Amino acid sequence: MVNTKVTLSGLTLDNPVIPASGTFGFGYEFADIYDINILGSISCKGTTKDSRFGNPTPRIAECTNGMINSVGLQNPGVDKVMSEELKKLAQVYSKPVIANVSGFSIDEYAYTCGKIDKAPEVGLIEVNVSCPNVHNGGMSFGTSAESAAAVTRAVKAVTTKPVYIKLSPNVTDIASIAKACEEAGADGISLINTLLGMRIDLKTRKPVIKNKMGGFSGPAIFPVALRMVYQVYEAVSIPIIGMGGVSSARDVIEMMLAGAAAVQVGAANLVDPFVCKIIIDQLPEVMEQFGIENLTDIIGGSH
């Protein structure tokens, strides 16, 4: 009998598989198609201080082995997320969830994180300093070590739960940014967010996405994500949640060997709504195939 349990800053997960923010809504709609209590945790839809509609449509473009999205953080705002969405999720999911927070100023990050920290359903806060979709948004915070650290300090000052900083891959030296977040008090690092990309329609000769550019995700970015998790693992000693193109139990193990303590599954949920269940079901078999008894033993095992 293999052991799939992993731990994130004192939070024990039955398995390392977590649907990534923005690809699973607030989870409860997936409860109609399978028992979502099997999930290690759920990273909820990105939440901001105020309600947001997000970007104009089209917000989606297809790519070879991936997709571009430019949703723009559509969400009902932190108050409604706490009073409605997290309550609905709690009716069908009994484990602690990950709140995913975005902001447009350091004050806003602190305000939203300070509020959602008090939600009893939340076990961990993931701070998105990297969303490339919003013109005046996260991009600037995630692209310099100083501003990422400033967000980290501000959020840590007003929260009691573990704070993980979700980093942007659209940078030259991700390890130095991760290191700055660790020094500023981050309890962990999530990576990677989407890569900035675009597609052009040959018929209209215009960008497919209304906002021209968006976040590229899917299996095509897995090697980039894996490389960055590997680099960050060497730079920090706090836990890493690895993500970017993960679509199978083998991908989960590969991501953990690079240094991830847990793994998020993103775009794959949109193509196959059952993918997290399939990965969790297959994980023990793949562990046995590669002689893994305890998943925690392999974290960073490739270094």
Partner 1 sequence: MNNGIYKILLNERIAKDVYKMILGGDTSAITAPGQFINIGLEGFYLRRPISICDYDDKTITVIYKVVGQGTDELSRLRPGHTLDILVGLGNGYDCSKSGNAPLLVGGGVGVPPLYNLCRTLIGHGKKPTVVLGFNTADEVFYEDEFKSLGAEVFVTTVDGSHGTKGFVTNVFDEIDYDYFYTCGPMPMFRAVNEKAKTGGQFSFEERMGCGFGACMGCSCKTKNGYKRICKDGPVLEREEIIW
| Catalytic site positions | 131
| Residue 63 lies near partner 1 (rule: CB under 8 A) | yes
CB of 92 to partner 1, least distance (A): 15
| Residue 107 lies near partner 1 (rule: CB under 8 A) | no
| Residue 215 lies near partner 1 (rule: CB under 8 A) | no
Q: Centre a 10 Å sphere on the Cβ of residue 77 and count the other Cβ atoms it contains.
A: 14
Contacts of 185 (CB under 8 A, 6+ apart): 152, 153, 156, 163
CB-side neighbour CA atoms (13 Å) of 52: 22
Structure tokens at 48: 């901001």
Q: What is the C-alpha end-to-end distance of the chain, expressed in Å?
A: 26
| Residue 282 lies near partner 1 (rule: CB under 8 A) | no
User: How many residues contact partner 1, by CB under 8 A?
Assistant: 35
Looking only at residues 8 through 37 of this chain, which bind partner 1 when binding is defined by CB under 8 A? 22-25, 29-30, 32-33
Rounded to an integer, what distance in angstroms lies between the CA atom of residue 303 and that of residue 294? 18
Cβ proximity to partner 1, 57 vs 160, nearer residue: 57
| Residue 204 lies near partner 1 (rule: CB under 8 A) | no
| Residue 71 lies near partner 1 (rule: CB under 8 A) | yes
Residue at 119: amino acid letter: A
Question: Where do we find the tokens 């927070």?
Answer: 101
Rounded to an integer, what distance in angstroms lies between the CA atom of residue 57 and that of residue 70? 8
Q: Which of 77, 185, 273, 284 binds partner 1 (CB under 8 A)?
A: 273
Q: Centre a 10 Å sphere on the Cβ of residue 295 and count the other Cβ atoms it contains.
A: 23
| Residue 185 lies near partner 1 (rule: CB under 8 A) | no
| Residue 67 lies near partner 1 (rule: CB under 8 A) | yes
| Residue 86 lies near partner 1 (rule: CB under 8 A) | no
Q: Which of 60, 90, 106, 198 binds partner 1 (CB under 8 A)?
A: 60
| Residue 74 lies near partner 1 (rule: CB under 8 A) | yes
| Residue 77 lies near partner 1 (rule: CB under 8 A) | no
Structure tokens at 103: 């902001």
Cβ proximity to partner 1, 188 vs 218, nearer residue: 218
CB of 297 to partner 1, least distance (A): 33
| Residue 57 lies near partner 1 (rule: CB under 8 A) | yes
Rounded to an integer, what distance in angstroms lies between the CA atom of residue 148 and that of residue 143? 7
CB-side neighbour CA atoms (13 Å) of 230: 13
Cβ proximity to partner 1, 69 vs 112, nearer residue: 69
CB of 140 to partner 1, least distance (A): 23
- 3 state SS for 6-46: EEECCEEECCCEEECCCCCCCCHHHHHCCCHHHCCCCECCC
Which residues contact partner 1 by CB under 8 A?
22-25, 29-30, 32-33, 45, 53-54, 57-67, 69, 71, 74, 208, 218-219, 267, 269-274
